[in-house]
Chain A
Amino acid sequence: QQQVKQSPQSLIVQKGGISIINCAYENTAFDYFPWYQQFPGKGPALLIAIRPDVSEKKEGRFTISFNKSAKQFSLHIMDSQPGDSATYFCAASMTNTGFQKLVFGTGTRLLVSP
């Protein structure tokens, strides 16, 4: 019940296209859903996050869509650029617990071709 399932494992998108990465969770107590971006040789960095009281959050070219009833959320990267090539992790946590342990998905390696 603590798992976060992420798909696809890898994704190739042409420059200017839309990249879509999907995640699903089981634990309805999760109330915070961040996405992390990781470049080779670097640690993950917070990209965008959403709480389940909203269905969508947009920051620049990055949008999270959230479907509470389906227990699914997705990351959309509009006008994908070669600089977006990285590994993306979704995650979930419960913010009413002290440490707020993050449960991570298994990651999606995105390649944006020029």
Chain B
Amino acid sequence: NAGVTQTPKFQVLKTGQSMTLQCAQDMNHEYMSWYRQDPGMGLRLIHYSVGAGITDQGEVPNGYNVSRSTTEDFPLRLLSAAPSQTSVYFCASRRQGVGNQPQHFGDGTRLSIL
């Protein structure tokens, strides 16, 4: 009954470092996505995927890369961390289908860039 699992929960980086935020889901959902949450700005879509091997950009993709080699995993890579990327990052998944399928969110990764 894990749902969407994100690791790590907390991370501190120095400017210029790279890292990968991990996301895994065990619900066999086709769609996965990454959001960042900043105070007063709600959640903004970074990248999303509609299936293995298929990814696309969201609203704020700059500075981030994604890949989707399996249905279960959707890692988010920060190429060269900048202080502006200090945020809480959420991964989400949902079932493909006609109509309204609910998004299932992980508990987030809190990232600080010094």
Residues of A within 8 A of B (CB): 6, 9, 32, 34, 41-46, 49, 51, 89, 95, 98-102, 104-107
Which of A9, A46, A49, A105 has the most chain B CB within a 10 Å cutoff? A46
Q: Are A89 and B42 in contact, CB atoms less than 8 angstroms apart?
A: yes
**Min distance, Cβ A101 to any Cβ of chain B, angstroms:** 6
Given contacts A43-B90, A89-B42, A89-B43, contact A102 B107 (CB under 8 A): no
Contact residues in A for B105 (Cβ distance below 8 Å) = 43-45
Asked if A42 and B42 sit within 8 Å, CB to CB, the answer is no
Q: A43-B4, A45-B105, A100-B101 are in contact. List 6 more A-B contacts (CB 8 A).
A: A43-B90, A43-B105, A44-B43, A51-B100, A101-B48, A106-B40
Q: Give bound CA distance, A34 to B94, whole Å.
A: 14
Task: Categorize the interface residue count of chain B.
Answer: 20 to 34
* B1 shortest CB reach to chain A, Å: 14
Contact of A99 among B50, B106, B107, B108 (CB under 8 A): B50
Q: A89-B43, A106-B42, A107-B42 in contact; A98/B90 too (CB < 8 A)? A: no
Complex interface residues of chain B between 39 and 59 (CB less than 8 A to chain A): 40-45, 48, 50, 56, 58
For this complex, 19 residue pairs linking A to B, each with C-beta atoms less than 8 Å apart, are A6-B42, A9-B40, A32-B100, A41-B108, A42-B107, A43-B92, A43-B108, A44-B90, A89-B42, A99-B33, A100-B100, A100-B101, A101-B45, A101-B58, A102-B103, A104-B42, A104-B43, A106-B41, A107-B42
Inside 8 A of A41's CB, which chain B residues have their CB? 107-108
